[in-house]
Amino acid sequence: MSTERHYEREFVRTFFTSPTAVKGEEDSAKMIRSAAGLRGMQAPDVWVPDNEDATAPNMRDEGARNIVEVVAEHGADFPGEIHPRVVWHRDSPTTRYRGFQHMLAIADPEGGAVEHIDGFVIPEVGDIDDWKKADEFITIVENEHGLEEGSLSMSVIVESGEAELAMGDLREEMGRPSNNLERLFLLVDGEVDYTKDMRAMTPTGELPPWPELRHNTSRGASAAGLIAVDGPYDDIRDVEGYHERMVDNRAKGMLGIWSLTPRQVVEANTSPLPPESGRWLLELGDEEIDLTEEDGRQVYEGDAVGLEETDDGYVLRVGSDEQQLDEGGLREELLDMAAYVPSMDDIVNSMEEFEAAKEAGRGAISMTRATTVVVDGVEVEISQDRMWDEATYQAAQTPIALFQDVYEHRPDQHEELEEMYGADVVERAMSVGN
Amino acid sequence: MSTERHYEREFVRTFFTSPTAVKGEEDSAKMIRSAAGLRGMQAPDVWVPDNEDATAPNMRDEGARNIVEVVAEHGADFPGEIHPRVVWHRDSPTTRYRGFQHMLAIADPEGGAVEHIDGFVIPEVGDIDDWKKADEFITIVENEHGLEEGSLSMSVIVESGEAELAMGDLREEMGRPSNNLERLFLLVDGEVDYTKDMRAMTPTGELPPWPELRHNTSRGASAAGLIAVDGPYDDIRDVEGYHERMVDNRAKGMLGIWSLTPRQVVEANTSPLPPESGRWLLELGDEEIDLTEEDGRQVYEGDAVGLEETDDGYVLRVGSDEQQLDEGGLREELLDMAAYVPSMDDIVNSMEEFEAAKEAGRGAISMTRATTVVVDGVEVEISQDRMWDEATYQAAQTPIALFQDVYEHRPDQHEELEEMYGADVVERAMSVGN
Amino acid sequence: MSTERHYEREFVRTFFTSPTAVKGEEDSAKMIRSAAGLRGMQAPDVWVPDNEDATAPNMRDEGARNIVEVVAEHGADFPGEIHPRVVWHRDSPTTRYRGFQHMLAIADPEGGAVEHIDGFVIPEVGDIDDWKKADEFITIVENEHGLEEGSLSMSVIVESGEAELAMGDLREEMGRPSNNLERLFLLVDGEVDYTKDMRAMTPTGELPPWPELRHNTSRGASAAGLIAVDGPYDDIRDVEGYHERMVDNRAKGMLGIWSLTPRQVVEANTSPLPPESGRWLLELGDEEIDLTEEDGRQVYEGDAVGLEETDDGYVLRVGSDEQQLDEGGLREELLDMAAYVPSMDDIVNSMEEFEAAKEAGRGAISMTRATTVVVDGVEVEISQDRMWDEATYQAAQTPIALFQDVYEHRPDQHEELEEMYGADVVERAMSVGN
């Protein structure tokens, strides 16, 4: 990436917002202090003391004071980065000026908070010129308070059509001499306000899925060397839905997500990490069905697939579709349906194997994975071959690179990670790919 | 929105094209007169006397004369806006010049039509410089005929890759001093010609769904303060398909659609309005199944879901997937599956409740909706909680804002709207959110 | 298209890469010679002797020499175009300089290869300025070797976010006086490296589908007068998956695909051509079920749809959804579900019919297609009407234009095409639409 990054983390799994002031003085201090005390998997990669939506409009000055107080006291011990969100709106100079004042107050060295603050989050940005206004205010904040220019990062919430379009111009605009947009860090989708700005509606009031917005955010981050983060998942009890959203996001290159509760933080911190153990599954159309391991064999237990041995071969049924097959044909069909989800250990093994082959002068090797699938009591041996070359190797590296980034920057999660994977796997995962 | 809009309507539900000249003089006059006579739900928000595709190529001069005659006579009484479509093509200066001549003719004050004409529709536009050529011709038309510069709006049909890309530049280009692109009004997708221009094919010859084009049109409209409209739905007998398309469009922020027949106009005029009565449904994967109200309980009548009470709890079956659950678990599963489609009355109620809370100094309140769901005779009480804050409130406002825009600009639909919702709901809907 | 194309083919079905040097001298010569010997449906429209990924890194100088030798000897007889791929990387000046040197070597007239070489393929391009660097090197190659400026085409592999964004600027940039970007030919998606660059992950390591990338590539090609080609389909045994991918691509306007084996070349060469014979199918949600022709009737043989004649009409069951219908209603439902996939002969017939109507002064005609559908022994006559106007005609023309382009440029496929369609259909297909 040619753009020089001004931030340490290469990956951000979790973007956790907490109110800075709600009802009364005591209450507010309690909520923001409780966020500051999170550790381990419950602590986010990026903590956002939120002085915008999560804080009552008439209490935002108090919110800014609470940020200073709590971050000054607890910031040094907080394991993630700290990026307060201030108010901003592309259509309101009043709001923008208040956001500027809050940033000035929060970053005042007298308060003792700024040394623990990594940057600011600017919501409701508009087109690229609006992003530049926020960047300029941060430059002035840095200058007024004797901080190095560009030392505070800037993250934005993309919640308008014009901000979505602006992400296509970042790479070009970030190089210009009269801005400090190299301070950009996270591009965060904000689907509630985006839905409003796009005037979109669904019958039940649920948010539309916005696949194109998420693609464009991920692409914008990739092109400009930034990090893409998906917006909040409102239904905080729907853990399965949150997981599905994260799987969908990762297929778009968006590895981080907004978290509204410490429980969501745990889910979002662990979800992008490779699983502890691998598993086989059958892919039937869009559905994926896990197979059950029994004595090293993979048993299918549903009734969507049926298999029967006959005098002259096999009858395989998938849904209501039956076909007569010989042994080779049967194996090919099952091979097509079967897929393997590799564990952390599997990925590390494959990478080590490829690295050894490369060392020995071979640019491509075949990796084999074999098992016995059992359907209706009939056993079928299958064996997957996959050619690994440099490109395969590098694509496989993404989850490992994420793991390494987490391990390096989050010592407070070491214990949990070693418990999850075993110390040996962790050690090997930290040394491949370098 | 910083761009100043030159048009009255904030929402356009229907874009209805009618031929201006087909076979003979008499016939032509009849078709265009019949469109001019539409009223109430049968009358579109935007009527487009079409002097391009719907009119025979060799009869377009006559078509232009018919527009002048019919609009002069009936324009004052027509309840929607009137935007004739002229010929245009990004690759043909001949066609562009003819379009210019037709606009000059139609807008000639001597004909008496122009005072009822709100703007022109330009099809087959190319990149942004091509849009500027059309804009310049309209400026000349205004100047020649003593009209105020910018008083005629310009809508375009997006039916090429370069026009799709141009929508990303509108916000920037509309501010430039040497054009009057602030006259832009509707961005209309034209999927038949777009498919041709993209050289796309489907086995049966049906149009591809083009989700990305529709997203980009909606986003382009949002970023530049314009209105996005989807293209024609060819299979005019397929009412269900037309409805599904509109639901899909609304989730993209595209609230208007092209209508080819007065029957489609009725469908498209009513579809984006909130329903008269709310209803519960179960969401099973991508499928939505309406529940049937019986004595205030919501009864499921299909066989995709099964429920049985056992000695130690419940067995819930969804498809072929069974799970053993206790009462709490059962309630949670059903809550996840159940969804409520609010009526106009429901939305107005929620907005009023939130407005009262805001008045009382509360920024967020919880809204509860409870019911009894019955599956296989087993009754389960469920209760949905949803947190409403300013953002929720504003997103919920879109259908109400649309309703208010309709009610304000379409007095000819008042009677039908009051019949549909009741005068009380209409009155309350007109006063929330202001 | 206003941009002047520097290439002959209007359509490219197949982009076939073959290694130019792998293990030893003998082996390498064998592999590249074998590709040069492909003919007929096994020979690609574009052959890419690959001196990047498919060739061992330490053997690329030898690879360049092999290209010169084999192309000089066999290039004149190869039926497709020849576009060697050299090394390139947006982030590495070393790699870019090596790519330049390889191009200089391959295009050296002394080697005798350049007269058979149509252009170069540049992988791993970045933003538009990076594309210009490659263009400039090709300009220097042309100048050094006394070739006409712009005579070598340039194709790129889009495998980064910034390259995806660059495709939105091509139309504008291609006109600039200080580049020769008019030499651009193919925009090829490279999903393996794109996935890496976007840092995307899927549980099983399969490639994400990237629908937005493919849309943007297709649109970029359309807007700039280029040709879009999809990337490699890794699972080379999965013929059905390769076919589904191509159907999906064609609905996006991307008619060509990368082929990794001669078997994939055959699939990809034939897939976009209209079928030899038409067929009826039923569309049930997203599923399409072929009907079986029996004595001119179309028989449904599955159990997802059921039909029963009762005393007062019919009961039609679709899945678990039953409805009571009269004869008209039944016909309408079946008409909605039924779709016809036209054969080459059908398309040519329709086009001829429309051309005759146009000749006779009619701008729109109705085309009817009728059949008898049989479900559970009950026969229902259905009849589809479709209005054809100039736009329908032009959209229907895409597969015929592709066929004509193939027939004109690939005499080596004439025999296979005539065997497939019959000489009469081929002759008529070559004369419609002109």
Mean pLDDT of A286-310: 89
Task: Please judge whether B363 and A57 are an interchain contact, meaning their C-beta atoms are less than 8 angstroms apart.
Answer: yes
> Could you read off the pLDDT of A122-155 as tens digits, one per residue?
999 999 999 999 999 999 999 999 999 999 999 9
Task: Please judge whether A165 and B223 are an interchain contact, meaning their C-beta atoms are less than 8 angstroms apart.
Answer: yes
Strand order in the sheet with A378-388: A292-294, A297-300, A365-375, A378-388
Residue with the bigger pLDDT between C62 and C284: it is: C62
* Nearest chain B CA: its distance from A52 CA (Å): 11
Q: 3-state class of A296 per DSSP? A: coil
Percent of chain C with pLDDT over 70: 97
Task: Please judge whether B255 and A212 are an interchain contact, meaning their C-beta atoms are less than 8 angstroms apart.
Answer: no
On whether the CB atoms of residues A413 and A269 are closer than 8 A, the answer is yes
Quote the CA–CA distance of A311 and B245 in Å, as a whole number.
50
Report whether pLDDT(B347) > 60.
yes
Mean pLDDT of C217-233: 97
Is B198's Cβ below 8 Å from some Cβ in C?
yes
> Counting one residue from A and one from B, how many pairs have CB atoms under 8 Å apart?
97
Query: Subunits that touch chain C (at least 3 Cβ pairs < 8 angstroms)?
Result: A, B
Mean residue pLDDT of chain C comes to 92
- The band of A24, judged by pLDDT with boundaries at 50, 70 and 90, is low
Percent of chain B with pLDDT over 90: 77
Residue with the bigger pLDDT between B358 and B40: it is: B40
Mean pLDDT of C225-252: 92
Report whether pLDDT(A323) > 70.
yes
Which residue of C28, C165, C284 is the best one to mutate when testing the A interface, meaning the one whose CB has the most A CBs within 10 A? C165
Mean pLDDT of C309-335: 89
The pLDDT of residue C3? 39
Helix (H) or strand (E) holding C369: strand C365-375
Residues 43-102 of A with CB under 8 A from C: none
Percent of chain B with pLDDT over 70: 97
Report whether pLDDT(B434) > 90.
no
Q: Measured between CB atoms, which of B198, B238, B303 is closest to C253?
A: B198
SS3 content of chain C, % helix, strand, coil (to 5): 45, 25, 30
Report whether pLDDT(A313) > 50.
yes
Residues 296-335 of B with CB under 8 A from A: 320, 332
The pLDDT of residue A395? 85
> Could you read off the pLDDT of B102-150 as tens digits, one per residue?
999 999 999 999 999 999 999 999 999 999 999 999 999 999 999 999 9
The pLDDT of residue B23? 65
> Could you read off the pLDDT of C107-142 as tens digits, one per residue?
999 999 999 999 999 999 999 999 999 999 999 999
**CA triple A63-A69-A75, angle to 5 deg:** 110
Is A178's Cβ below 8 Å from some Cβ in C?
no
Contacts of B391 in chain A (CB under 8 A): 53, 192-193, 196
Query: Subunits that touch chain B (at least 3 Cβ pairs < 8 angstroms)?
Result: A, C
Residue with tokens 């712009």: C150
Measured CA distances, B379 to B261, B297, B333, B373, C275 (Å): 46, 9, 14, 6, 55
The chain C residue lying nearest B58, using CA atoms, is C361
What's the farthest any 2 CA atoms get from each other in chain B? 87
Quote the CA–CA distance of C299 and C280 in Å, as a whole number.
9
Q: Measured between CB atoms, which of A162, A199, A240 is closest to B171?
A: A162
Q: 3-state class of B340 per DSSP? A: strand
Quote the CA–CA distance of B12 and B25 in Å, as a whole number.
32
Residue with the bigger pLDDT between A345 and A396: it is: A345
Report whether pLDDT(C4) > 50.
no
The pLDDT of residue B2? 34
The pLDDT of residue B260? 92
Task: Please judge whether C161 and A223 are an interchain contact, meaning their C-beta atoms are less than 8 angstroms apart.
Answer: yes
Residue with tokens 């107050």: A105
Is B276's Cβ below 8 Å from some Cβ in A?
no
Q: Measured between CB atoms, which of A250, A272, A395 is closest to C192?
A: A395
- The band of A28, judged by pLDDT with boundaries at 50, 70 and 90, is low
Count other Cβ atoms within 10 Å, centred on residue B355.
14
Residues 6+ apart with CB under 8 A from B434: none
Report whether pLDDT(C29) > 80.
no
Q: Which amino acid is at B33?
A: R
* Nearest chain A CA: its distance from C289 CA (Å): 11
* Nearest chain A CA: its distance from B424 CA (Å): 23
Contacts of C394 in chain B (CB under 8 A): 193, 196
- The band of A103, judged by pLDDT with boundaries at 50, 70 and 90, is very high
Strand order in the sheet with C287-290: C287-290, C279-284, C338-341
> Could you read off the pLDDT of C367-405 as tens digits, one per residue?
889 999 999 999 999 988 888 888 889 888 999 999 999
Quote the CA–CA distance of A402 and A433 in Å, as a whole number.
12
> Could you read off the pLDDT of B388-410 as tens digits, one per residue?
888 889 888 999 999 999 999 99
Q: 3-state class of B342 per DSSP? A: coil
Q: Measured between CB atoms, which of A127, A198, A304 is closest to B218?
A: A198
CB burial of C247-265 (b: ≥16 within 10 Å; e: otherwise) equals eebbbbbbbbbbbbebebb
Task: Please judge whether C336 and B238 are an interchain contact, meaning their C-beta atoms are less than 8 angstroms apart.
Answer: yes
pTM (whole model) above 0.90: yes
Mean pLDDT of C183-188: 97
**Pairing between strand C365-375 and C338-341?**
unpaired
The pLDDT of residue A286? 74
Report whether pLDDT(B59) > 90.
no
Contacts of C320 in chain B (CB under 8 A): 302-304
> Could you read off the pLDDT of A167-191 as tens digits, one per residue?
999 999 998 999 999 999 999 999 9
Task: Please judge whether A391 and C206 are an interchain contact, meaning their C-beta atoms are less than 8 angstroms apart.
Answer: no
Is A284's Cβ below 8 Å from some Cβ in C?
no
Count other Cβ atoms within 10 Å, centred on residue A91.
12
* Nearest chain C CA: its distance from A234 CA (Å): 24
Query: DSSP string covering A206-230, please?
Result: PPP--HHHHHHHHHHHHHHT-EEEE
- The band of A2, judged by pLDDT with boundaries at 50, 70 and 90, is very low
Report whether pLDDT(C25) > 80.
no
The pLDDT of residue C1? 31
- The band of A85, judged by pLDDT with boundaries at 50, 70 and 90, is very high
Contacts of A237 in chain B (CB under 8 A): 332
- The band of C2, judged by pLDDT with boundaries at 50, 70 and 90, is very low
